[in-house]
Structure 1
């Protein structure tokens, strides 16, 4: 992967000599070989070198990948952008690419990536995934997620993008699993944001589609349970968008449970806050949501 060449570039940019960087870590000759790509390095030594460069692994990998997110982040960013832009052609291209990689490498996660894109395609094209395909894919996906002992960024993002496929009982079980199995990573901002997104989408799922707001709400207990998880995760005060989103969902819950006036006030407050922050698109989306419910 030629990590050594990236280390050399960073070292020179920081004005640090080979001797100074190697001091207390390894020999100068070993570090020189590593930078040239003639020698591998242990994780322990790599950690010490990055510490001396005052850099963490995320920052190093971002530089190593030519100032681009890693491939997993790039995939979720690309699919998310295509979905938001309602770009069916790009979604088809991305799905084809994942299916080809799945055949080439024989790795099941590429199949799951294609399934996620298929969910986005069905929403964009207002189409249904056949029950047979859906049932088989759900079983494979659920088996994978349940057997993973610790959920990281990939598992959280994969589940977040496919939970619309699942039945309510499965969503609640897997969302609880996601919350529990990602606990040790929660101090890592990327994981924190991902589990927050899972909890938000679980709550939205429980509230139901807009055309069901006239029906009796049967998930009050579960709604409050996942709201309590959001409180435990603790959305930072600086994350204003998520805090406004939370206010919107609380308002939607009031409307869903019959407290119409109180709910409308909360959702309108969320809209007003976004308008004051010049987040016009988000404000318009919530305003449209309010009209529909």
Structure 2
């Protein structure tokens, strides 16, 4: 599961920010409402714009829509959608805010080996931008989404690395929400290694209770579902 479907705000030549704001708002609304019809309509509009302009960012938008429609349908995203994002992120010379956000919101659909490669590269690149808070925020989002993905794929040899990187990044921050999510995933990891782990059980329950207290009940519910699916997959 992704931490959020953040807005793809970015600085880019010959691409209108207002247009991208509109797209990301519509995409977010469609995903949160589980409205596949809305997403399919958005896909058609992005396809039309791409056919007129040839702007590769519209193609990325189409790939993101395909990924989220597949997620809502519990199906596999198209090979073209995955390859479009994968090849761009593997070959682009420099990562800025746009690249971090694109990766954060498509990560869950990428092959495991690509996730492990890109997440490590993203972390190294993010360190270079560490004074820039907005990039640091995306770096943490990448780490959290990576932990979520590798846990679901049972890549236990890699989980601890990304947990430690996330904890290190958050050690001197006041980002309570992100700290709670990392604590939750770390506790899930303990439960996957040992279903009887008292620390794992207490850690997940404490994180969920605090999220509910903070008014994040819907997010807490989605994490409960994630935990159940995770633990059932180990039986």
Flag whether TM exceeds 0.5 (same fold).
yes
Distance 1:199 1:124 in 2: 23
Maintained 8 Å contact 1:254/1:260: no
The residue number in structure 2 matching 1:194 is 138
Q: Which of 32, 56, 60 does residue 108 from structure 1 map onto?
A: 56
RMSD: 2.4
Distance 2:101 2:83 in 1: 18
Matched residues, number: 214
Cα shift at 1:148: 1.7
Maintained 8 Å contact 2:166/2:182: no
- 5+ residue gaps, structure 1, are 1-60, 62-68, 210-216
Distance 1:140 1:151 in 2: 16
Which digits, 9 at most, give the CA deviation of each residue in 1:166-219, with x for residues without a partner? 21111101111222233333332322222211111111110016xxxxxxx4x3
- 1:155 matched to 2:99? The reply is yes
Which digits, 9 at most, give the CA deviation of each residue in 1:59-100, with x for residues without a partner? xx9xxxxxxx85445433432232122111221122222212
Cα shift at 1:155: 1.1
After TM superposition, list the pairs within 5 Å mapping 1:8-87 onto structure 2.
70-87=18-35
TM-score, normalization by structure 1? 0.65
Query: Which structure would you say has the larger RCO, counting Cα contacts within 8 Å and 6 or more residues apart?
Result: 2
The residue number in structure 2 matching 1:251 is 187
* Bigger-Rg structure (1/2): 1
Distance 1:235 1:152 in 2: 24
The residue number in structure 2 matching 1:91 is 39
- 1:286 matched to 2:230? The reply is no
After TM superposition, list the pairs within 5 Å mapping 1:109-124 onto structure 2.
109-124=57-72
- 1:166 matched to 2:102? The reply is no
- 5+ residue gaps, structure 2, are 1-10, 12-16
The residue number in structure 1 matching 2:5 is none
Local SS of the residue matching 2:142: helix
Distance 2:82 2:228 in 1: 33
Maintained 8 Å contact 1:235/1:242: no
Distance 2:210 2:113 in 1: 35
TM-score, normalization by structure 2? 0.80
Distance 1:86 1:287 in 2: 19
Stretch deviating more after TM superposition (188-197 or 105-114)? 188-197
Cα shift at 1:272: 1.5
- 1:234 matched to 2:170? The reply is yes
